[in-house]
Chains A and B, each alone.
Chain A
Amino acid sequence: SQELEQSPQSLIVQEGKNLTINCTSSKTLYGLYWYKQKYGEGLIFLMMLQKGGEEKSHEKITAKLDEKKQQSSLHITASQPSHAGIYLCGADVGGGYQKVTFGTGTKLQVIP
C-alpha cells in the first residue's frame, strides 16, 4: 500500500470553479510538500508545510496541513486552464535519511 494516498485520482472541473485535492499519510508527517507536473515533464515545487494548522498560498492555490489527521489539502480557487496538470504531494515520513516520499498524484483537467 502507498504511504501517501491522494484523492481524487483525477478531476475534471469547469473553468472558474473551486476544487480540493487531498493527501493522506499512513505515517507521521515531518513535512508535507506540494508539487505540480505538466504531463511528460518534470515537477515544479509549489510549497512546503511543516506545522499543524499551517496554511500557505501560491497565487490562487492554498494548502493546509492537518497534522493530527496526517493529512493535507490543496485548494484551487477560480480554476483556470493554466492550473491543469498533475498535482503530487510529497512528505518526509522518516526512514533514516532525508528524502521525499511522493503520492500517486491527482490529474486535473480544467475545461474552458
Chain B
Amino acid sequence: DGGITQSPKYLFRKEGQNVTLSCEQNLNHDAMYWYRQDPGQGLRLIYYSQIVNDFQKGDIAEGYSVSREKKESFPLTVTSAQKNPTAFYLCASSPAPIYYEQYFGPGTRLTVT
C-alpha cells in the first residue's frame, strides 16, 4: 500500500537537544512538506521541497532544518534554537504540480521538557 510514514508517533526530548523526525513516502510524489500544528492555530508550513536536493523555507523555518537527498525521504531536524518545539508535526507529499492535494502522514507528537 502506498502512503506516508512518520516515526516515531511520540517523541520526548530534553531541552537543548536536537531531534530528527522521520518522513518517508512511497507515492512517488515530487513535493514534500513539513507542517507544525498547535492548538487553535491550524497548520503552519515549516519547509517544503519540490524536487530532490532542493528545499525552501516556509512561514516558520527558524530553528528547523531539513534535507532531501532521496525522493522518498524528507527528514526534519528540530534544533535547540527552536524556542517552542513542543507540537504536533505533520509531513505531507503531493504530486507536483497538484500542490493542494496533499497526502499526510499520521504525525509525530514532540514533547520537549
Contact = CB atoms under 8 A, between A and B. Distances in A.
A and B pair up: yes
Say which size band chain B's interface belongs to: 20 to 34
A43 B45 contact: no
A42 interface: yes
Nearest to A38: B106
A88 B97 CA distance: 21
Contacts of B88: 40
Contacts of B21: none
Interface in B96-113: 97, 99-107, 109
Given A4-B42, A88-B43, A99-B48, A45 B105 contact: no
B104 A42 contact: yes
B40 interface: yes
Interface residues of A, number: 23
Given A102-B43, A103-B42, A104-B40, A43 B100 contact: no
A97 B103 contact: no
Interface in B1-59: 4, 35, 40-45, 48, 56, 58
B76 interface: no
Interface of B: 4, 35, 40-45, 48, 56, 58, 88, 90, 92, 97, 99-107, 109
Interface of A: 2, 4, 9, 31, 33, 40-45, 48, 88, 90, 92, 97-100, 102-105
